[in-house]
Structures are given as structure tokens and as C-alpha cells.
Amino acid sequence: MIKAVIFDMDGVLIDTEKHYNAAWCEAARMAGFDFKREHALMLRSCDAQLASKMMKDIFGERFDYFAIREVRRELVAQRLEKYGLEKKPGIDEILAFLHEKGIKAAVATATPLALTLQHLEKIGVRGQFDEIVSAKQVEHGKPAPDVYRYACAQIGERPSDCIAVEDSPNGIKSAYAAGCLPVMVPDLTQPDEELRPLLYAVADSLADIKKLISA
């Protein structure tokens, strides 16, 4: 029985991954690297230390992940100022459904907590979650299971009773390793052959998660 749904934020609740992707490419190219979309996709929801190692493995020791990330953060802020913060389709519908059914809702994101709360407040859903946690509050970020285990502990539910909604491979791997039921709502990429065995389901939109719970 599903007792909770835990959502990633970027690319799941808000349409920000496209801005992160563009900003990563711009920031890394400004630093002199032939950085492409495929490299930015690897960094979605990824633990910083792991991400730094991956980029050094690809581009060499000169790739200063943390310095480039600071530039990326500034570029993302500029893009959000220009384009605004967009809610993903179905967010209000799925949250209303969960409340109606008495199913808990939580957020487990790689984004720092203060910024997470700010974004959720801006799109008007901050108060609709039983718990909001960030990977910055645990030892290891995604794809390690820490943040999902922490979220489950905070809401008092077993991972096996919790759907975890993700858009990225790192997020899916984190949820799966924690023992949750990973549901992918694709954003920038579709699930590949490596990811499919880890998935409980694929949903076209947040609203379609209702079918998984009602089935």
C-alpha cells in the first residue's frame, strides 16, 4: 500500500532543468572546456564530490567543478529572473489527490534547502508537503540513497511504502537504493536500458501518478 509520495524538485515539480543544462554548458565553456549537453545531463541531481570526479575524469584535473558551479548558479539565477519559475504540469492535481486520499507528500531534492523552500513558496506549494529535505542535510547526495532514507525517516514511513518521483538517472538510482518505488516522469531524457530495470513505473506527467496509486 502506498503511504507517501516523495518528489524530487528540479525537473519534477518545477521546470528548471533546462536552465541548469544551458547554464552548465555556458559556464564550462567560459572556463575553456568543450562542454556539451550530454555532460550537463550527467550532473542532474548528482552529489558534488562525485560530479567533480566525473568531470575531472572527462576534462582533466584543470576542470574546477566548484568554481564553474558558482558561475552556473549565477547564470541560472539570471535565467530564472528572465524567464520566471514554471510549475510542471499536473502538480496541483497530484497534490490535491494525495491530500484527498490521506497519502503523505514530501520533497527530497539535491538543491540547498533554503533555495528549495524559496522556489516552492514562489510556486505556491510549500505548505502542501509533510516534509521537505535536501541532500545537503545528509552525508552523501544522489545517487547514494541517503536523502531518500532521510525523507522516509522524517515522515515515519518505510521506503517500500513510498513512491519516489524522479526525472534523472541519479535520482532514480538514489530512490531505488533506498528501497523506494521509483517512478520516472521524464523531463530532458527518457529512461534507457540501464535505468528501466530500476523503475517501478514511468508516468507521462505528475497527474498520471494517480493511476499508480488507484490501481
Mean pLDDT of the region 160-177:
98
CB atoms within 10 A of CB 146: 19
Residue 197: asked if its preceding bond is cis (omega within 30°), the reply is no
Phi, psi of 6 (to 5 degrees): -110, 125
Round to whole Å and give the CA distance between 94 and 213: 11
User: What digits encode the pLDDT tens for the residues 35-94?
Assistant: 999 999 999 999 999 999 999 999 999 999 999 999 999 999 999 999 999 999 999 999
**What is the predicted pLDDT for the residue at 39?**
98
| Residue 114: HSE in the Cβ half-sphere, 13 Å Cα cutoff | 0
- What's the pTM value of the predicted model, to 2 decimals? 0.96
pLDDT tens profile 17-52: 999 999 999 999 999 999 999 999 999 999 999 999
Distances (CA, A) of 24 to 45, 52, 59, 119, 157: 13, 13, 14, 20, 36
Rounded-to-integer distance, Cα 158 and Cα 25, Å: 39
